[in-house]
Structure 1
Amino acid sequence: MPSVVKGVIARAKGAPVETVEIIVPDPGPGEAVVTIEACGVCHTDVHYRDGGINDEFPFLLGHEAAGVVEAVGAGVTDVAPGDFVILNWRAVCGQCRACAKGKPQYCFNTYNATQKMTLTDGTELSPALGIGAFIEKTLVASGQCTKVDRADPAAVGLLGCGVMAGFGAAVNTGGVTRGDSVAVIGCGGVGNAAIAGAVVAGATTIIAVDVDERKLERARSFGATHTVNSATTDAVEAIRERTGGYGADVVIDAVGRPETYEQAFYARDLAGTVVLGGVPTPDLEVTLPMIEIFGRGGALKSSWYGDCLPSRDFPMLVDLYRQGRFDLGAFVSETIGLGDVESAFEKMRTGEVLRSVVVL
């Protein structure tokens, strides 16, 4: 029987979010209903609210979530009621050209639940990243559920987006390994996760760049060996100075703006790697001299969801967390209720928090 639960929606572009009643249908074939225990507040949710993703309002916000499977539909064998899961927005199809090449982390045909959750008047909702988890329970495709060992949902749920994006940008996309030098531009949730990932991978020089001293201090707590305030210091020159005059082996732009990408491009060593991990808005463009692109060699990469494969990466990272080697709890600045999401957006905008997490 369909459930009526409370959730947070963005009804119109730029309007404050609302907590309303939402109808969640029983799971159909290939679907699962998940009781949400915790969900992080991510910049992507703000982009949805502000119309920066698309205009398919109203949106059911939230996507960095962990919870327990309540029910599954016909044909579901990968999860069962009672499983503790982290939700993901890369439910691989197993059939597209990327999957056929043995690279499911690049799946081009990821899928979502077929049925729609609705308002009580029948208005269909668009769930953020196909998930919609600022809600007491949500409907997803079963492939969006990754079973992991039970752990603090407020911490491990963050693997559903920002932390995985940052860790993966360093380890999966950037290929950071033992002895590497790494620079990370932008020290929010994604940037600090990239720093923490570089630590786990064995990087020896990790340079954090930001314009906010509070964020640089946090970056040190995640393992940055050097910090650079680019509001007062030339970031490119500072990174070169700290890498023997050469530049870093891997530079990660966790901001996604032309000026930060240009910094990343010129701050890498010859044959080094630039990784774009911050999400740019559609209007932004970057111009670089082609001779510099050619002459520096190396690689310019984009990291989509940290090039992760949830079934492979989530359990591994939860294990590292449980072993005390990857402190996911350090990303949680505060826990809040469903009614506090709008104020959490403002705290995130001002840099007051790393992550607010809704706990249900």
Structure 2
Amino acid sequence: MPSTVKGVIARGKGQAVSVENVIVPDPGPGEALVKIQACGVCHTDLHYREGGINDDFPFLLGHEAAGIVEAVGNDVTDVAPGDFVILNWRAICGECRACLRGEQWNCFNTHNATQKMTLKDGTELSPALGIGAFIEKTLVAAGQCTKVDPNADPAAVGLLGCGVMAGVGAAINTGKVTRGMSVAVIGCGGVGDAAIAGASLAGAAKVIAVDVEDRKLEWAKQFGATHTVNSKERDAVEAIQELTGGFGADVVIDAVGRPETWKTAFYARDLAGTVVLVGVPTPEMRIEMPFQEFFGRGGSLKSSWYGDCLPSRDFPMLVDLYQQGKFNLDAFVSERIGIDDIESAFTKMHDGDVLRSVVIMK
């Protein structure tokens, strides 16, 4: 029998969100019903509310989540009722050209639940990133559920579902950071600090955090930054070169996603170094640069989609490191809030007062 539960709805562009009754179907083939325990408040949710993703209103917001599987479709074997899972927005198909060449992290045919969650009047909802987790129970594709250690704190490990994984993966998977490298990260919000943590986990010898706010630079230190640069006070390229023997960093990660920060990353890397873009630009942004610079400096210019992660591989590994005290996921949780507090959490996030507010579902 379908469930009627409370969920957070964005009905129109720029409108305050509302908590409303949502009808969640029983899982069909390939689907899972998950009771949400915790869900982080991500910038992407705000982008949905502001119409920055698309205009398929109304949206069911929330996607950085962990919870317990309550039921599965009759053909589902990878997860079962009672499993503690982190939700992801990359349910790989296993059949597309990327999957068949062994690059499942680039799957071109990721999928979501087939059935739609609705409002009580039958209006179909668009779940954020195919998840919709600011809700008591949500319906997802079974492939969006990754089993992890049930003893882990849902508020912390749920953040692997988006921003933290994006940052860690940008360093480890996309940037290929290894022991002894120098790494610079531009932008020290949640994704940037996760990239710093990833570079530290990978054994980088020098991790340089760049931001315009001293408060954020202090936050970056707890994730492994060895040096900090306030780019309002000095030129970031010169500072990074000075800290790397005049050469530039081996890997520079742009966690902001603006033309000016990408150019900083480009010129702050060493010859044949790597630039990783993990911050998300907006459609109107443009870059104009001398074409010869791209050839003359060599190296790699990469975009990082979801940290080029494979949830089945990366989530359990990172949860294990967290449980061992080697990866400080708790530090990303700035506050724990209720489902009615999301609008205020958006304000705090926009103002840079938190890394993550996490909604705890009762």
TM-score (norm 1): 1.00
In 1, Cα distance between equivalents of 2:183 and 2:287: 22
Partner of 2:305: 304
One-letter amino acid of the counterpart of residue 124, structure 2: E
Partner of 1:6: 6
Partner of 1:207: 208
Partner of 2:281: 280
Q: Does 1:292 align with 2:293?
A: yes
Partner of 1:248: 249
In 1, Cα distance between equivalents of 2:116 and 2:137: 13
Q: Please give the secondary structure, in 1, of the residue aligned with 2:16.
A: coil
In 1, Cα distance between equivalents of 2:111 and 2:261: 32
Partner of 2:239: 238
Distance apart, 1:74 and its partner CA: 1.9
In 1, Cα distance between equivalents of 2:76 and 2:197: 35
1:97-116 CA distance string (max 9 Å, x none): 00000110100000000000
Percent identity for Structure 1 against Structure 2:
78
In 1, Cα distance between equivalents of 2:254 and 2:318: 22
1:1-45 CA distance string (max 9 Å, x none): 000000101000000011111000000110000000000000000
1:36-91 CA distance string (max 9 Å, x none): 00000000000000000000000000000000000001210110000000000000
One-letter amino acid of the counterpart of residue 122, structure 2: G
Residues 141-220 of structure 1 mapped to structure 2, 5 A cutoff: 141-150=141-150, 151-220=152-221
1:203-246 CA distance string (max 9 Å, x none): 01110000111100000111101111111210110000000000
- CA RMSD, Structure 1 to Structure 2 (Å): 0.5
Q: Please give the secondary structure, in 2, of the residue aligned with 1:20.
A: strand
In 1, Cα distance between equivalents of 2:158 and 2:348: 20
One-letter amino acid of the counterpart of residue 288, structure 2: T
Partner of 1:222: 223
Question: What count of residue pairs does the alignment treat as equivalent?
Answer: 360
In 1, Cα distance between equivalents of 2:24 and 2:183: 45
Distance apart, 1:310 and its partner CA: 0.2
In 2, Cα distance between equivalents of 1:18 and 1:177: 45
Distance apart, 1:142 and its partner CA: 0.2
Residues 113-152 of structure 1 mapped to structure 2, 5 A cutoff: 113-150=113-150, 151-152=152-153
In 2, Cα distance between equivalents of 1:317 and 1:14: 35
One-letter amino acid of the counterpart of residue 180, structure 2: G
In 2, Cα distance between equivalents of 1:81 and 1:149: 15
Partner of 2:15: 15
One-letter amino acid of the counterpart of residue 241, structure 2: R
Q: Please give the secondary structure, in 2, of the residue aligned with 1:163.
A: helix
Partner of 1:271: 272
One-letter amino acid of the counterpart of residue 183, structure 1: A
Distance apart, 1:125 and its partner CA: 0.2
In 1, Cα distance between equivalents of 2:284 and 2:47: 14
Q: Please give the secondary structure, in 2, of the residue aligned with 1:222.
A: coil
One-letter amino acid of the counterpart of residue 21, structure 2: E
Q: Please give the secondary structure, in 2, of the residue aligned with 1:36.
A: strand
Partner of 1:77: 77
Partner of 1:353: 354
Distance apart, 1:286 and its partner CA: 1.2
One-letter amino acid of the counterpart of residue 138, structure 1: T
In 1, Cα distance between equivalents of 2:78 and 2:127: 22
Distance apart, 1:289 and its partner CA: 1.4
Q: Please give the secondary structure, in 1, of the residue aligned with 2:222.
A: helix
Distance apart, 1:287 and its partner CA: 1.7
Distance apart, 1:308 and its partner CA: 0.1
